[in-house]
């Protein structure tokens, strides 16, 4: 039996090149994975050590913990508000993040003089406003009876303007800010969120490219070394596939493949 040395050499070279490329790809993938893990560990450390910061009067900031899982958020929401948890589940809504904050208002010592009522001199009319008369958020208007020490009045509450701003810094960390009036205090702030990659759904392009290797063997002559080839192709909408390949036997091939999709009913 005559052995075709040329075919053997070409096949060996192609196999060697493919093995080298696969080893290089595997090594690079491992390095990228290790690098990504170190970056994630560093981010987790920064987030864990971050504390609530008062940046200015009425403005507070804290980093977002965006390493929470869907189960973490669902469990937290169930503990906070079970009715809302059931609504989210029944309406098939996607829970993205949960913000927990404890707010308070600055204490204030006030003094003044009431006004004697012209009709009933035993009645002292009093008007109290917080935080100031110019921009009151809470006001109390009523009177105190000097003889009985009884009082009566109306509480009124104005609108409380609150803004929430989320930013991303150059490290890829998200910062959550609550902004309110100067007398507004944030005592505690915690934001748990899904990872950033889960916020934006990945849209797969209809046109895809693929590459691979193949091996052809002559069934009429089992002992004869086969041909090793490489191929490239395009796929449209995961349905129509066109492939072009070339092998060590100096053969050029062209093929078209149709992918039959199968569907099954979604379990409720």
List pLDDT tens digits, range 202-215: 667 777 887 877 77
Q: Where are the domains of the chain?
A: 5-35+203-258, 52-197
Model confidence pLDDT, tens digit, residues 140-191: 999 999 999 999 999 999 988 899 998 988 888 999 999 999 898 999 999 9
What count of other Cβ atoms lies within 10 Å of the Cβ of residue 92?
6
Reported confidence tier of residue 229, pLDDT bands at 50, 70, 90:
confident
Whole-number Å distance between alpha carbons of 100 and 81:
12
Q: Of residues 2 and 166, which shows the higher confidence score? A: 166
Distance of CA 110 to the CA centre of its chain: 46
The CA distances from residue 249 to 83, 214, 216, in Å, are 69, 12, 9
pLDDT value at 56 more than 80: yes
Model confidence pLDDT, tens digit, residues 11-34: 667 677 767 777 777 777 777 778
- Check residue 214 and give its pLDDT: 77
In 3-state terms, the chain is what percent helix, strand and coil (to 5)? 25, 40, 35
Please provide the distance, in angstroms rounded to a whole number, between the alpha carbons at the two ends of the chain: 64
Model confidence pLDDT, tens digit, residues 242-266: 888 887 777 778 787 777 765 555 5
Model confidence pLDDT, tens digit, residues 30-54: 777 788 888 888 999 999 999 999 9
- Check residue 268 and give its pLDDT: 42
Q: Of residues 101 and 237, which shows the higher confidence score? A: 101
pTM of the model: 0.63
């Amino acid at each position: 039996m005559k052995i075709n040395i040329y075919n053997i050499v070409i096949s060996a070279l192609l196999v060697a090149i493919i093995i080298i490329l696969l080893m290089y790809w595997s090594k690079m993938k491992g390095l990228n994975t290790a690098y990504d893990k170190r970056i994630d560990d560093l981010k987790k450390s920064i987030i864990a050590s971050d504390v609530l910061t008062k940046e200015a009067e009425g403005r507070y900031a804290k980093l977002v913990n965006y390493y929470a899982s869907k189960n973490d958020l669902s469990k937290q929401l169930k503990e906070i508000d079970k009715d809302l948890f059931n609504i989210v589940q029944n309406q098939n809504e996607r829970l993205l993040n949960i913000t927990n904050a404890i707010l308070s208002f600055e204490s204030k010592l006030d003094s003044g003089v009431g006004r004697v009522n012209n009709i009933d001199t035993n009645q002292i009319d009093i008007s109290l406003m917080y935080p100031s008369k110019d921009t009151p958020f809470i006001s109390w208007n009523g009177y105190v009876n000097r003889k009985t020490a009884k009082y009566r009045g109306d509480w009124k509450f104005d609108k409380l303007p609150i803004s929430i701003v989320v930013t991303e810094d150059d490290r890829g960390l998200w910062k959550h800010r609550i902004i309110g009036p100067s007398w507004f205090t944030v005592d505690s702030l915690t934001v748990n969120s899904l990872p950033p990659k889960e916020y934006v759904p990945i849209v797969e392009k209809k046109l895809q490219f693929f590459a691979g290797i193949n091996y052809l063997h002559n069934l009429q002559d089992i002992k004869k070394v086969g041909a090793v080839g490489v191929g490239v192709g395009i796929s449209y909408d995961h349905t129509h596939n066109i492939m072009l390949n070339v092998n060590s036997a100096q053969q050029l091939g062209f093929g078209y493949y149709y992918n039959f999709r199968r569907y099954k009913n979604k379990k409720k």
